[in-house]
Structure 1
């Protein structure tokens, strides 16, 4: 039994730990969506966190906890800086502005070869991420967001999401709450990037581009943004689906896409929708 578990972990450890880092990414964008913002900069924030932590450990030899702290602080600070002008926008305009920021980050990485390795990326990152690091980070973030959601700040987020104008008239500081959600989301994405960088040993600029940003958004929307469990479920599905369909070879991405389209068509509020669950269980209980 122990030998079988050891063999499984040797083969699939990266996939299992990717479940945790992808869940953190999905939660990072859930936080901005919960405040009514369609911000698409999470992949860029992940990249900033990954490169910052990797440079700290490879170049300066700092302890891993300090590198993780740097990977959290750097994207949070950048989010605060760019949040001032961009968070005045909303909807598709905010999405376009944050996508443009992501492209700026990618180009900056490509053109700072002496620091980031440019197009070749950074190779030989110390494999410092352990399974308990990822588990502890995910549990801490889930607990923190759960407390936040039930706090005064969480209720302010919900009010802004439902009607920003009405929330402002009720005395809620819309700008400050949006900035808080944006910065916290960036910090969580940076944490995921820092953990992932010291898990995969290599990072490159193409890992944090538009495609990664779409994947992060899809995880949250697929699972459902009306609860904290939804983004985690979406991350698990999108991480495991390509692996489970590997036997189909070149057709696996087609099947992957078809499954996702069917889920979006028939479950528009995501797979995990608390309102639908209560309705379904209530109907089942009434039938009995």
Structure 2
């Protein structure tokens, strides 16, 4: 199979890998600040519907629609961040899951704009491969720079011990807002790109299952580096296609692979510390005696 035929068959799959990588990075950002927030699927839905309505109903150009898909979930994150980010752990996860259900119900009831349960059909296919690659590279560079900045170090301190970080003078709530809002913006961008790739969006695409899938991508790949979420997104996206020949057992094999990785590689597939232990140590036979 030559490259042209491969792209004709698998282009949507490849672009979906990039979009899912953006989603995995969005939840990686909140996890890096110690926030187990499960609202990324809802933010993705807000971005997807906002961008789609702007292009279909308002006739806006694609760049404006993408901007709307980023700004809308960011504003929502700022509004709900006040009451929810005071929670932590499983309570924060439950609160953000509840927010996701509220978004789903609002989408169902706003039939005039969202199409209700039938969703939006006929969305113009404006997403191109360079959009996905460009935004993925841009987000990776932004998060790489953020991780090595003063804000990134504050995120790490809050993740390790929130109380100690506060006693050291770090404004904990401000940094939580930054992580939560920026994660919402990235998820909204992914939703806007996905909506203009698949022609159709519906409320069922942004529910609990999608939220768990996004979290699985990040945990599977590993949250100790930026490469981990991208690797996890690629595996979760490609695995169903690779197991298509085992259609009757595909879900079972998929689950078994995830269980094995969680049991034997709890820090994810991409763990820089483990790689340094494996590849950074010289064999004893080659060690130079002192």
TM-score, structure 1 as length reference: 0.98
Q: CA deviation at 1:283?
A: 3.1
- Taking a change above 3 Å as real, the CA distance of residues 286 and 229 of structure 1, as seen in their structure-2 partners, is farther
Q: Choose the corresponding residue for 1:233, options 211, 231, 234.
A: 231
Q: Unpaired segments of 5 or more residues in structure 2?
A: none
TM-aligned CA distance change 1:222 to 1:70, over 3 Å: same
Determine the structure 2 residue equivalent to 1:142: 140
Provide the residue aligned with 2:272 in structure 1. Answer: 274
Q: How does 1:154-169 map to 2 (within 5 A)?
A: 154-169=152-167
C-alpha distance in 1 between matches for 2:284 and 2:236:
35
- By how many angstroms is 1:282 displaced? 2.7
Q: Which residue in the other structure is 1:242 paired with? A: 240
Considering only aligned residues, what root-mean-square deviation do their CA atoms show, in Å? Answer: 0.9
Instruction: Provide structure 1 residue ranges, at least 5 long, that are not aligned to the other structure.
Output: none
Judged with a 3 Å threshold, the aligned counterparts in structure 2 of structure 1 residues 104 and 283 are, in CA distance, closer, same or farther, namely same
Write out per-residue CA displacement over residues 89-108 of structure 1, whole angstroms, 9 at most, x where no aligned residue.
00000000000000000000
Give a deviation string over 1:56-109, Cα, whole Å, max 9, x none. Answer: 000011010000000000000000000000000000000000000000000000
Q: Does 153-162 or 6-15 show the bigger shift?
A: 6-15
When the two structures are aligned, how many residues end up with a matched partner?
286
**1:10 Cα offset (Å):** 1.2
Structure 1 match to 2:63: 65
How far did residue 284 of structure 1 move?
A: 4.5
Compare 118-127 and 5-14 and name the one that shifted more.
5-14
TM-score in terms of structure 2 length: 0.97
Please give the secondary structure, in 1, of the residue aligned with 2:59.
coil
Offset of residue 253 of structure 1: 1.0
Alignment match, 2:91: 93
Q: Quote the offset at 1:249 in angstroms.
A: 1.2
- Aligned partner of 1:253 in structure 2 is 251
Aligned partner of 2:126 among 111, 120, 128 = 128
1:206-263, Cα deviation, whole Å (9 max, x unpaired)? 0000000000000000000000000000000101111000000121111111011101
Runs of 4+ more than 4 Å apart:
284-287
Relative to structure 1, is the Cα distance of residues 268 and 83 closer, same or farther in structure 2, using a 3 angstrom cutoff? same
Instruction: Name the residue aligned to 1:213.
Output: 211
**What is the distance in 1 between the residues matched to 2:223 and 2:130?**
26
Distance in 1 between residues matched to 2:280 and 2:149, nearest whole Å:
28
Match in the other structure for 2:192: 194
Q: For 1:86 and 1:284, how far apart are their aligned partners in 2?
A: 49
Rounded to whole Å, the distance in 2 between the matches of 1:105 and 1:88 is 21
Shift in Å, 1:286: 4.8
